[in-house]
Chain A
């Protein structure tokens, strides 16, 4: 095992264990904080895959944006008397059986498929290349995403104010 493998298993363990606590913890605020560790672990996995820019975007957008939004959502939709904000669970047993079967099936398919892996070159900084692709090949999608974000912003603000 090389150092790369050890760091990979570390990030994988952080991601999966904290994701498990996100979906099983009864306290919503604790779930939100475990979600923080999940996002950090996924960002680490992106770094292991040589995607440095995506990892930083993941941290900024998810941890800095979506997680704060979720925490505000928790605070605005509960009568807060203390930090114990509980939530119930329904259909836990059938869901775990079905999803265990699902994960087993897909996992077996992944492990038994003979993936054609091309030896990829060593990781290089990707930010400049991504920037030039965004304003060349993907210019239309980039602009459309800008319009989409504007529409989402206006829609969310007008819906929440009403």
Chain B
């Protein structure tokens, strides 16, 4: 009898023991607080639609960053890759080389892939530590963006209507850009959980020495991961330019910080080997909620940034504490 009860209990508690569940709790608390402070304006259909559309590219970037963080790397050049690929696509569209929205997206993804490949080669073959490699490449990509655009912007009237409409349109009541998030999310789950390469990524991050001994080509893993991340940043570049109907040289500078924060909130370890797509999705939504709501609840502009940092730290802290408590409980359970 006692055993049965314990078994049932443990299944239920297993659900709540996961990092994602504790993050969900943090998110619900946050939403309740904002809902109360904004006099009920926050949790509406319109606001949620706005939020999913405006932060779709941040979420997509976070999935790419997840892969990089999983192998113990980091990429702070994604904002610059976004700008370079988004600008290339927009410039070619402006000059009439691209006939439709799909081709603009394809060009952006291809440019992003190329950027990621270069970073992968520098990190894997050049043995440059990722933060330095991407710091350097960030300036090169950003500089190239200014150079190819001649520091001019591509404006709304120079873009294809279909390209702009795609970002504003929706399917089954969900904005097209958020559909991209959902597709990338599902692809990430499948890729990381059910492909052998996905498992290699986790292994490469948690125990690189063992991976080498077991015959996995670590360099190959790194190059592919940075390339995928670059392609995702390229995709985000197309999402950005179609969403805001403008391509500016300095667009998305600093975006990498929100993205890394989203990953960390989502429980991704900066030491590699730990993190899930679900956690990252929740982390990105949390970042979006924080950024969107600060002005909605009437926080003074001067305090918004400081408060944003505070809430990010708090979210991570609560998440870690809940997780630690759960781990302890799990251990206690084992002792019985």
Q: Do A and B form a real pair?
A: no
